[in-house]
Structure 1
Amino acid sequence: MTTLVDDRPLLTPLTVPGGERSVAQRWKAVVAAVPDRTALVSDGAHYSFAEADRRSDRLAALLLPRLPAGNDPIALAMGHDADTVVAVLAVIKTGRPLVILDAHMPAERLRVIAGLARATAVLTDPARAELARSLGEPVELVVDTTELLAASGTVPPPPLPERDYGDTVAIIFTSGSTGLPKGVVNTNGQSLNDGLFLRVGLELTSDDRMALVFPLSFLAGYATAIGALLTGAAVHCFDPREAGLGGFARWLIDERITVLSCTPHLLRSATGALEPGQTLESLRVVCTAGEAIHGRDVAAVRPFLSPDATYVNMTGSSEIGSLSSFAIRPGDEIPNGSVPAGIAAPNKRFHVVLDDGTVAPDGVPGHLVVTSEYLSAGYMTSAELTAEKFGVDSHGERFHLQGDLARIDNGILMLLGRDDAAVKVRGYFVEPAEIESAILDSPAVRETVVLAVTDDAHPTYLVAYVVPDPRAATESVAALRRRLRERLPEFMVPAVIVPMTALPRNERGKVERRALPAAPERAIGAPPATQWEKVVADLWGEVLGLDEISLDDDFMALGADSLTAEEMLARAGDRFSVSLVTSDLLEAPTLREFSHRVSLGSASLPSHPDVVSLGGRGTATPVFCFAGGGALALGFAPIARHFGDRPVYAFQSHGLERRAVPDRTVEAAADRALQLMRVIQPAGPYLVVGHSFGGLVALEVARRLRDAGQEVALVGLLDTFLLTGLTVQDATEAAQIAQGAMVPQRLDTPPGRFAGGFQALDGLLRRVLPDGVPHLPEWGRHARAKVAGVITFDGQRQFDAHFDHTVKVARRYQPKPYDGAALLITAENNPQGAATWAPVLTGRLEVRDMPCEHSSMIREPHAAQVAAHLAAEIDALGL
């Protein structure tokens, strides 16, 4: 409560029902109590409550005599700033319904909305005046608010409109299932109650600085602005769509924002943009709305907040306004999976009904019904839809059929997804939200959407669109499918998984499901027939997490990556007593071909241990790729698929798959590769690409080709590091950090009485071992690196041995300046950009950044973007 100053009234807490029956009436009460408090802030504008009141009074008074006759709505086509909120208040003071147009929407959609709303007048600003004038009928009047406010002379304030709870204050347009937007009628009572929801759910006071980042044309934006102002809080405007995410976190810090309400997607992006060590200390409350939030999202944002901050999950809709909230306070246990919708908002009640209309018992899912006096008045654009969704119960209370599936556990609401999202798969009732939660239960996944595909030609099946987290190693489709099988019934595992770099979103920031790409069909072909085909199909099914494998299914196309292929080949070797390498799988990629190859045994399967062909039989200039340390050449398969018929060849470390002494220098590896390359392509122009350590080999190959008088058109370096001069430990740590691997704690000096003896021993051995005694946890890896290729290890240890060997090789490599064309593609958190490479890459250098971690760069969905960057350079060369 605000202290009494002079004869000003106290700012009484907003209550509903209460003495103030309209938004305009409550606004005047706040202005009278706290006139000098900050009300609105945006870039270049800072208005107190008194100043915002004077400006909106003047605008309303000048506007009223110019308005067309009647009570038709007034539209706003303005920006996202303090002046726009002033214009909102001015329209409310005229007593006309308000319609806010979002200039970020397509102009045609805005014309449709203006027409559906029957808006006869539009308020605008100079930047959007042309858009306002293009709206057409029924708009009769377009007014530039800047010119109106700048007009000379004094104008008496307009009389306060006589309005009550049930009167319309705004019309919020949302997407409609018919293809046309729906106009949802927002009343004074609903707006006031949404302000009460902020006061109670967020404990909002006049001391708070509330961030307005939701567009004002959405209920979340309108309700945030109006609700915060009606509690006496300051509203700070920021539009991340225009200002970008880069400055969003800095803005939150500089403005000392105390309450942030946004979408989960925006919150993830904001915290992801923070610099190491940065925190949002001023925030006491962070709330998200608009999409489901998961426990891991809350855990991820916690380190960036003050220890006293509270996280609130808020739910609602344009039709009902505020619905519920679930607060996670400091010290509270963070829920696993989806965060509950929580307890009912003030003056709202909810219950769940079954298909027969009876109330569902506690914990039983059903259809959500919301009851309140403070709901929307319905749809101005459809009386039929209003009658379908709104009604009056036997007690005379209004209710709304929200269209959500839900359950209630001890008064806590859990939303389970939309009614129309629930489907039956193979006779079982399936809710995609549960599958989405299971997919998200991994740090490798950032976002996902699961849809059901139903048509007459096929049984209903599920499709998952998955966006990997750029900070983690991308999970292969096969690995994801197998993980889901460990958690979900088989019928709930999506039949098709589509990796994506981002999910399409509509103007409200929500996932635009209709804009998702069509899922590729997986036709079920002829089943395995011979004994060999059946046993190999069983093996593939185990590794890939699939029940059915057809004869013409391609192993890699079923979602495998190089690690999955390596696992399958190892299992095949154990089970069938054959020695197979990745080139065998590339030459026989389908179940039919691979089964035949296995049946022949390894003796009749000659192949080269260091280079594989990744397809493409065309006549275009081939691309030669070099895998990272310990990585299979097969890892380039996702990129090669995007080159169509262009030949692609990939090299891997000598001795990786067949016992042999590996190359001890980058130069030796380049010489070995060149012998094979000159057989495949005797003369230039050459295209060479390397990932990680392979980039150093590619660079050396290119230099030697140019020294021999050959043309090298392009060198592509995919997140390659310069480790020259670093100690083995530091080089290993740098490489591990690049790959997102955990780095063991350094144990240079053991504790206790042995410290002195260890240091003496370390000093003595540095004469023999320049890097000193290997760190204790690293002794095993150090020893394996020494015998890599000579001794074959099992599984991950084989990779580690060759990886550690190449780290030692890389740190001894002294690259000479290369003046040819180069393309450097870096992953997130790679500190070695163009400046680091400038002394080495002295010719034309193009740099591209990728939103992913090191190893994920050559996996889908990122492989497609890498291939596009490479293809653009190659096409520009005319090759």
Structure 2
Amino acid sequence: MPDSAVTPQHPATPQLAPPRGHEPFPVPWMSIRDRFDVVADWLPEQTAVVCQGEHITYSELRERAIGGARALVKSRKGVRRPIAIDTECTLDCVVAIVTVLVSGYPLVLLDSQLPEQRRTDILTRSHAARVRPSELAALPPSPDTPLHSGAPTDTAVLLFTSGSTGKPKAVRQGQRLWLNQAADFHTTLGTGASDRVGMALPISFGGGLDVVMTSLLNGATLHFLDPREVGIDAVPHWISSEQLTTLHATPSLLRAVMTACADTPSLSGLRLVTTCGEAVHGADVTRLRALLGPDASYCNLSGSSETGNLAFNAFPPGRPVPDGVLPVGVVAANKTVRLLGPDDAPVGPGEVGQIVVESDYLAEGYFVDGFGPGPLDDRFGTTDRGARSFRMGDLGRFDDDGFLHLVGRGDDAVKIRGYLVEPSEVESALRKIPAVEDAVVVARKLDNGSTTLVGYAALAQGDRAPSVADLRCELRSLLPDWMVPTNIVLMPTLPRNERGKVDRTALPDPTPRPPVVLPRSDTETTVAALWSQILGVDPIGRDDDFVSLGGDSLQTQQMLTQVEERFAVQFSSATLAGFPTLRQFSAHLDGTNSGAVAATSVLVPLHPDGIGRPVFAFAGAGSTALALLPLARELSRPVHGLQAHGLESRGLPDWTVAAAARRFLREIRRVQPHGPYAFVGHSLGGVIAMEVARLLEADGHHVQIVICLDTILGGPLSEGGPDLPRTAGTRPAVDGPAPSRGALWRTRFRLLTAGIVPRPAQKQWDLFHELGRRVALLHKLQPWHGRVAVVMAEDNPDEPSWWSIIAPNVVSVDRVSGDHVGMLRAPHVARTAALVRTALGDKT
């Protein structure tokens, strides 16, 4: 019987107190082809690969690969050049990859998602001949052509690094590196003939090729699916229908898979889940365990294109999961890690040092103009015993259990206000915030030569979108002030390259902040302290804008309440819209007499200095016009907001849509006596906007368009309106639990005093939101035949087709990321505004 590495038994549950390193083992084969022959001889009828309903056995795969390799060698006429394969999620692509690997030619992978310019660059730098899988399969047979015997140091793969932090490098990965990888997967992870391996990684990604190689060189059955091509929602069915035993992904992809599998048992049949490619957090493992079976394990793999496997961090059942970023784990077998100080001397126990990896199974170097020894990058070297060494550029330390921790790169640490800060530590804190799904923190140089931290956060789906100030204040409870980024950029998702890594070169620049000019007057100093406390920014400059620093409606009310307590002056949110910077707000405060109450109107100028005809933006029930300010600032036209009467000042509210429409119409005509008019309405504001449009058109005026932002038709508005056809897939409108009789009477009493009895801001908004719900229940929604554009949030339960009933001349119905409120905040407001500009006919 062949060697035991093709007849693996799944290893016993690892020790809960992990060893300091994996035991070394021999790697007896000379080439990938030698090893593949062993597997195919032993398991000829075993299924080797399954992809999109097609499958192939090991004997069939060997026959096609060896035959194709001979034909390839014949076609190349003795010219030894790398062969570049256009990757795709097909069985033929896997066959093509194995064909090149057994041919002796170096393999180059061209990812299907790469821009053509990047593919051209890879071809130029590698001198590779580009061959598509179909072209390779169509080569004339040449059964008598011999194949190159090969040596362990021959280049098997020319792998281009991700280039996420700079120019990609071409790494010459030898036959021996890949043979060691395969043996390591068998010994450490138990990969073998009984496994149905699920690869949800791009095949061109080093981690993806890792799974292909280690599956086929250990006799497992490889199941291949690329979520980028079929969508993440296809993954749960794929896992369960193929009865996979292992799943391999990046941490970011695994988070998406867990979301897609949340309400399914898809992951419960797996024995092992692994991730690679980036840092993983304890919260990820805890979340995964809730979806796995009781005997399943998780392991994070760390490594690089130059080193292959570096370390494994396995979490069998019962092993406690720490908080924060997980250590990379126990150093891989046949690898030695040394931590060196600035003088290249070993550091002491627990100390941080530069990571140097030593092994016979590292890459052969970087490709420059050929495959010979050539000039080597000074990061590669040779040890006294003749093994290869590589300086990773990362800093690390060993803990008392022998786990290796990465603590950043040697050039990552930056000075912030005189303190040395590791961006990875700030990133870890940002990820701890429940509303943050993904995050990265980078250092940026300012024009004045100083350095600042910029945080990028992708928010979790389904949660109410926090403001930048919310995140900053939460960070201040986790970190010292100097480590909290002043700039936090909210994004729907972090940009990633084809390898699944965060593409730092694609991270947008934060909105420029004006130079910090410190407060000069007593009023400015006092207000700056209030803003700093609420927004989590220190210091506050005279030209800083409250909303640009991340303040939302709630923080605005908190600030105005404190201003009233300190200065005995009552302002409204309109005050901040008109005087948004510290300098302007403080000057307005100085010019206001003590005890004054700012006059408020239902109309609030949000962006009065725009160009062209104005846009009137109607706030939703219980919302101030200030909630529309981020949207207004994205538009080039003048924008005036409209909010409920009595919301911010004493006054009887309007109890019907018609009454609100008449009041708003009077204010609109004062600003713009004649049409054409353009309206944007959020939530119930969309219904009021259509009613105002109806009144204007009845009076002979033209309304260009009404843009409804997440106006939900299937809730209270459906009670008295047209019949809206529902299907089995129609989601019910979400409503809270039925209130008790006592709560119902208390609400009725509060509603009767709405706008008359002063209340704290949040209670006032909640009361007016309930008032809006009752106004909607009483309203008889009638079709409006003017032009309507609709933008729906991702959690809107309505059927888009309903809008053709409510607005027969609807011109567009689009969805945006973010919830009902989040669509008006960064990062989603940029997409919302782009759709509004398109509907208005403005340049985007």
TM-score, length-normalised on structure 2?
Answer: 0.89
Superposed displacement of residue 73, structure 1: 2.9
Q: 1:289 aligns with which of 255, 276, 285?
A: 276
CA 205–595 in structure 1, closer or farther in 2 if over 3 Å, else same: same
**Structure number with higher relative contact order (C-alpha < 8 Å, ≥ 6 residues apart):** 2
- Whether 1:629 aligns to 2:621 is yes
Equivalent positions of 1:463-482 (< 5 A) are: 463-482=454-473
CA distance in 2, matches of 1:156, 1:37: 27
* Equivalent position of 2:36 in the other structure: 27
The answer as to whether partners of 1:445 and 1:466 remain within 8 angstroms in 2 is: yes
The answer as to whether partners of 2:40 and 2:59 remain within 8 angstroms in 1 is: yes
- Higher mean displacement: 242-251 or 372-381: 242-251
- Whether 1:89 aligns to 2:89 is no
The answer as to whether partners of 1:781 and 1:800 remain within 8 angstroms in 2 is: no
* Equivalent position of 1:139 in the other structure: none
CA distance in 2, matches of 1:369, 1:340: 17
Q: In the TM superposition, what whole-angstrom CA distance separates every residue of 1:442-500 from its partner, at most 9, and x where no partner exists?
A: 23223222221236733122122233233222221222222222221222111322233
Equivalent positions of 1:360-375 (< 5 A) are: 360-375=347-362
* Equivalent position of 1:114 in the other structure: 123
Q: In the TM superposition, what whole-angstrom CA distance separates every residue of 1:147-169 from its partner, at most 9, and x where no partner exists?
A: 12xx57x836956x544433332
Superposed displacement of residue 714, structure 1: 1.5
- Whether 1:510 aligns to 2:496 is no
- Whether 1:821 aligns to 2:787 is yes
- Whether 1:401 aligns to 2:391 is yes
CA distance in 2, matches of 1:256, 1:46: 15
Superposed displacement of residue 809, structure 1: 2.1
Superposed displacement of residue 274, structure 1: 5.1
Query: What SS does structure 2 have at the residue aligned with 1:473?
Result: coil
- Higher mean displacement: 431-440 or 208-217: 208-217
Superposed displacement of residue 868, structure 1: 0.8
CA distance in 1, matches of 2:264, 2:758: 43
Over aligned residue pairs, what C-alpha RMSD do you find? 3.2
CA 201–570 in structure 1, closer or farther in 2 if over 3 Å, else same: farther
CA 304–385 in structure 1, closer or farther in 2 if over 3 Å, else same: farther
Superposed displacement of residue 357, structure 1: 2.6
The answer as to whether partners of 1:58 and 1:157 remain within 8 angstroms in 2 is: no
- Whether 1:447 aligns to 2:438 is yes
> Counterpart of 1:474 in structure 2: which amino acid?
A
CA distance in 1, matches of 2:740, 2:387: 76
> Counterpart of 2:827 in structure 1: which amino acid?
P
- Whether 1:703 aligns to 2:732 is no
> Counterpart of 2:831 in structure 1: which amino acid?
Q
- Whether 1:80 aligns to 2:68 is no
- Higher mean displacement: 546-555 or 306-315: 306-315
CA distance in 1, matches of 2:118, 2:93: 20
- Higher mean displacement: 273-282 or 559-568: 273-282
CA 435–10 in structure 1, closer or farther in 2 if over 3 Å, else same: closer
CA distance in 2, matches of 1:863, 1:584: 23
Alignment gaps of 5+ in structure 2: 10-23, 721-729
* Equivalent position of 2:185 in the other structure: 198
Superposed displacement of residue 174, structure 1: 1.7
CA distance in 1, matches of 2:568, 2:427: 40
Equivalent positions of 1:543-562 (< 5 A) are: 543-562=534-553
Superposed displacement of residue 330, structure 1: 4.1
CA distance in 2, matches of 1:844, 1:525: 47
CA distance in 2, matches of 1:264, 1:445: 15
- Whether 1:255 aligns to 2:230 is no
Q: In the TM superposition, what whole-angstrom CA distance separates every residue of 1:852-872 from its partner, at most 9, and x where no partner exists?
A: 122111111111111110110
Alignment gaps of 5+ in structure 1: 127-143, 729-737, 749-772
> Counterpart of 1:543 in structure 2: which amino acid?
I
Superposed displacement of residue 545, structure 1: 1.6
Superposed displacement of residue 598, structure 1: 1.9
CA distance in 2, matches of 1:374, 1:122: 28
- Whether 1:613 aligns to 2:620 is no
CA 851–201 in structure 1, closer or farther in 2 if over 3 Å, else same: farther
TM-score, length-normalised on structure 1?
Answer: 0.86
CA distance in 2, matches of 1:241, 1:566: 43
The answer as to whether partners of 1:78 and 1:103 remain within 8 angstroms in 2 is: yes
Q: 1:421 aligns with which of 408, 412, 417?
A: 412
CA 558–179 in structure 1, closer or farther in 2 if over 3 Å, else same: closer
CA 710–330 in structure 1, closer or farther in 2 if over 3 Å, else same: farther
- Whether 1:532 aligns to 2:541 is no
Q: In the TM superposition, what whole-angstrom CA distance separates every residue of 1:89-112 from its partner, at most 9, and x where no partner exists?
A: 222322232222334333343333
Superposed displacement of residue 302, structure 1: 4.6
Superposed displacement of residue 226, structure 1: 0.9
Superposed displacement of residue 47, structure 1: 0.4
The answer as to whether partners of 1:580 and 1:602 remain within 8 angstroms in 2 is: no
Q: 2:216 aligns with which of 225, 229, 233?
A: 229
Q: 2:640 aligns with which of 632, 644, 649?
A: 649
The answer as to whether partners of 1:78 and 1:123 remain within 8 angstroms in 2 is: no
The answer as to whether partners of 2:212 and 2:222 remain within 8 angstroms in 1 is: yes
- Whether 1:186 aligns to 2:177 is no
- Whether 1:155 aligns to 2:143 is yes
CA distance in 2, matches of 1:478, 1:177: 29
CA distance in 2, matches of 1:389, 1:454: 27
- Higher mean displacement: 774-783 or 37-46: 774-783
> Counterpart of 2:61 in structure 1: which amino acid?
A
CA distance in 1, matches of 2:272, 2:662: 61
Q: In the TM superposition, what whole-angstrom CA distance separates every residue of 1:519-539 from its partner, at most 9, and x where no partner exists?
A: 343232532222222211221
The answer as to whether partners of 1:566 and 1:582 remain within 8 angstroms in 2 is: yes
- Whether 1:832 aligns to 2:841 is no
Superposed displacement of residue 332, structure 1: 4.1
The answer as to whether partners of 1:36 and 1:50 remain within 8 angstroms in 2 is: yes
The answer as to whether partners of 1:93 and 1:158 remain within 8 angstroms in 2 is: no
Superposed displacement of residue 549, structure 1: 2.2
CA distance in 1, matches of 2:215, 2:197: 7
The answer as to whether partners of 1:323 and 1:345 remain within 8 angstroms in 2 is: yes
Superposed displacement of residue 36, structure 1: 0.9
- Whether 1:12 aligns to 2:17 is no
Query: What SS does structure 2 have at the residue aligned with 1:355?
Result: coil
Superposed displacement of residue 786, structure 1: 4.7
CA distance in 2, matches of 1:379, 1:578: 69
Query: What SS does structure 2 have at the residue aligned with 1:35?
Result: coil
Q: In the TM superposition, what whole-angstrom CA distance separates every residue of 1:634-658 from its partner, at most 9, and x where no partner exists?
A: 01000000112x1211122222211
* Equivalent position of 2:45 in the other structure: 36
